[in-house]
Amino acid sequence: MLFWNKKNRLQLVQQFCRYALFSIVLTIAYGLTPAFAQAASHSASKTVLVLGDSLSAEYGLARGTGWVALMERRLQEKKIAANVINASISGETTSGGKARLEKLLTQYQPDVVIIELGGNDALRGLALGASETNFRDMVAMSSTAKAKVLLVGMQIPPNYGRDYTERFFSIYGKIAKESKTALVPFLLQGVADKPQLFQPDRIHLIADAHPMMLDNVWPHLYPLLTSSAK
């Protein structure tokens, strides 16, 4: 009888140890679940739609040397899973971008929309009120499609008149503030004042300028891609 009592006690101890170990494993697993979920959401593939003009369409450049292509490479280097759709067209205006955007949103269902437009509106002297309305509509369309927006600011040379150039530049900050949209203050920051970085037309940039343009965009794009909420 004593033999069986000892054996039973041993079995009970072993069983208790197994249950205790199992309980600890469950506790750890449940405790780490939020962290695992957050990591998974960061690694989930995102789609980035770039709606831009010639500055994003690699005008006058070898394919793969523009800032959008460099951005795609940097995403890969940073282990950020993202599919980049470059829907930029040379000569594009805010009106043209707005006309194309709805179809692009439906086709690609992007997580982030980068709007790099406006320069051609200003260079053609188009009405600033129309450009502002187009920007506002594009931001609203993207938000309705559950996409985050990154608005990319642009400036034009002062020879267009101080009043016009200042009012044009102020549109970006105004739209970003009222829509709570991420903003790149000026795509050509650190570039515009370096004549050697321009192509002969004095409007478009050579390949050496595009890494600097990407550096201007990256700090504002990165948080949009790594935040868990869409």
CATH number at residue 174: 3.40.50.1110
Closest CA to 113 of 123, 104, 125, 124: 104
pTM of the model: 0.81
Query: Does residue 218 sit in the same domain as residue 143?
Result: yes
How many domains does one find in the chain? 2
Domain of 26, in residue numbers = 1-43
Band the pLDDT of 43: cuts 50, 70, 90: low
Residue 198 has φ and ψ, to the nearest 5°, of -100, 150
Tell me whether residue 143 is one of the annotated catalytic residues: no
Band the pLDDT of 110: cuts 50, 70, 90: very high
Per annotation, catalytic residue among 143, 204, 215, 220: 204
Alpha-helical regions (H) of 109-209:
119-123, 128-144, 162-179
Kindly tell me if the per-residue pLDDT of 158 is higher than 50.
Answer: yes
52 in Cβ contact with 88 (< 8 Å): yes
For residues 120 and 230, the model is more confident at 120
Query: Does residue 72 sit in the same domain as residue 3?
Result: no
Per annotation, catalytic residue among 45, 163, 193, 201: 201
Query: Does residue 86 sit in the same domain as residue 32?
Result: no
Q: How far is CA 64 from the centre of its chain?
A: 19
What is the distance between the terminal CA atoms of the chain, rounded to a whole angstrom?
67
87 in Cβ contact with 51 (< 8 Å): yes
Per annotation, catalytic residue among 54, 56, 88, 131: 54
Spatial separation of the C-alpha atoms in residues 131 and 118, rounded to whole Å: 7
Q: Supply the pLDDT for residue 11.
A: 54
Tell me whether residue 54 is one of the annotated catalytic residues: yes
Query: Does residue 89 sit in the same domain as residue 51?
Result: yes
Query: Does residue 38 sit in the same domain as residue 67?
Result: no
Average per-residue pLDDT for the chain: 87
For residues 221 and 12, the model is more confident at 221
Query: Does residue 97 sit in the same domain as residue 165?
Result: yes
Q: Supply the pLDDT for residue 27.
A: 42
Tell me whether residue 142 is one of the annotated catalytic residues: no
Q: What is the mean pLDDT of residues 86-112?
A: 98
87 in Cβ contact with 100 (< 8 Å): yes
